[in-house]
C-alpha cells in the first residue's frame, strides 16, 4: 500500500471523472451549486470507503457468480444510511440532491472500485483507495460547481460574490453548461497528462543516450 501513489491516482492519474470518465450523470446534474457538489462528493467518499472496506473483508467468501449482486447489496446498505443521515441533519441538501443520493447504489465509480480494487486487495489498501478516489471525485465536483455557480448565478454557497452589475451566464446552470464545463475540464486534464507523458519519455530517451 502506497498512500502517496494512491492519492495521486485518485486526484490525477486515475481520477474517476476526468480520466476514468465515470459518474457523468450525477457530476453534471448536481454541480449547479457548491453546496450540492460538496454534499454529493462527501456522500460518495463515505459510501465508497465503507463499501470498499466491507467488500474487501468479504472478498474471500462471496461466490464469484453472484459477486456483483452482493456488491450492490453492500453499497445499498451504506447509501440508505447516508441518505437517512442527510435527511435528518441537512434536509436542505438532501432535498436539493433528490434522487441522485439513492442512485449512488449503481454509481459506476463505486461498483468499479469494488470490482477492480476492493475485491482483490487488503482492507487497509481498499480503505485508502476509497478515500483517495472519493477525494478525487469531490475535488472535481467542487471545481465544476464553483465555476458554474459563480458565473451562472454570481454566488458561492448562496452568498452574492459578483457585483450587482454582473449579468449571470445562466446557460452554465443548465445541462448544456454542465456538458461544456465538464468537457473542457476533461480536455485540460488529458492535455496535461499527455504533456507529462511526453516529457517523461523525452527525459528517459535523454538519459539513455
pLDDT at 185: 94
Angle at 16 between CA 126 and CA 77, to 5 degrees: 55
Structurally, the chain folds into a number of domains equal to 1
On whether residue 115 sits in a domain, the answer given is yes
pLDDT at 83 over 90: yes
Cell digits of residue 20: 476514468
**Rounded average pLDDT over 179-194:** 94
22 Ramachandran zone, left/alpha/beta (phi>0; psi -120 to 50): beta
Cell digits of residue 190: 488529458
On whether residue 207 sits in a domain, the answer given is no
On whether residue 28 sits in a domain, the answer given is yes
- Cα–Cα distance for residue pair 31/137, rounded to 1 Å: 12
Chain mean pLDDT for the chain: 91
pLDDT at 1: 66
pLDDT at 209: 61
On whether residue 209 sits in a domain, the answer given is no
Q: What confidence category does residue 125 fall into, taking pLDDT thresholds of 50, 70 and 90?
A: very high
On whether residue 120 sits in a domain, the answer given is yes
pLDDT at 201: 86
On whether residue 112 sits in a domain, the answer given is yes
Angle at 72 between CA 32 and CA 62, to 5 degrees: 150
**Rounded average pLDDT over 111-116:** 91
pLDDT at 78 over 80: yes
On whether residue 46 sits in a domain, the answer given is yes
- Placement of cell 441533519 in the chain: 89
pLDDT at 3 over 90: no
On whether residue 130 sits in a domain, the answer given is yes
- Cα–Cα distance for residue pair 1/133, rounded to 1 Å: 14
Please state the pTM of the whole predicted model. 0.91
pLDDT at 89 over 90: yes
Yes or no: say if 40 and 100 are a contact pair by the CB < 8 Å rule: yes
Domain that holds residue 46: 3-202
Amino acid at each position: 500500500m502506497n498512500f502517496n501513489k494512491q492519492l495521486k491516482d485518485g486526484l490525477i492519474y486515475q481520477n474517476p471523472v476526468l480520466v476514468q470518465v465515470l459518474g457523468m450523470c450525477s457530476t453534471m446534474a448536481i454541480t449547479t451549486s457548491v453546496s450540492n457538489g460538496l454534499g454529493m462528493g462527501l456522500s460518495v467518499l463515505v459510501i465508497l470507503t465503507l463499501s470498499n472496506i466491507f467488500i474487501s473483508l468479504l472478498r474471500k467468501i462471496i461466490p464469484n457468480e453472484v459477486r456483483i449482486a452482493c456488491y450492490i447489496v453492500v453499497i445499498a446498505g451504506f447509501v440508505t444510511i447516508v441518505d437517512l443521515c442527510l435527511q435528518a441533519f441537512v434536509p436542505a441538501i438532501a432535498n436539493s440532491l433528490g434522487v441522485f443520493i439513492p442512485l449512488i447504489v449503481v454509481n459506476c465509480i463505486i461498483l468499479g472500485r469494488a470490482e477492480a480494487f476492493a475485491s482483490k486487495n487488503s482492507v487497509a489498501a481498499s480503505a485508502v483507495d476509497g478515500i483517495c478516489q472519493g477525494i478525487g471525485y469531490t475535488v472535481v465536483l467542487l471545481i465544476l460547481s464553483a465555476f458554474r455557480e459563480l458565473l451562472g448565478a454570481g454566488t458561492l454557497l448562496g452568498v452574492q460574490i459578483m457585483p450587482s452589475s454582473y449579468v449571470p451566464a445562466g446557460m452554465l446552470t443548465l445541462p448544456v453548461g454542465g456538458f461544456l464545463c465538464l468537457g473542457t475540464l476533461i480536455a485540460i486534464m488529458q492535455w496535461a497528462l499527455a504533456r507529462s507523458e511526453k516529457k517523461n519519455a523525452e527525459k528517459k530517451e535523454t538519459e539513455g543516450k
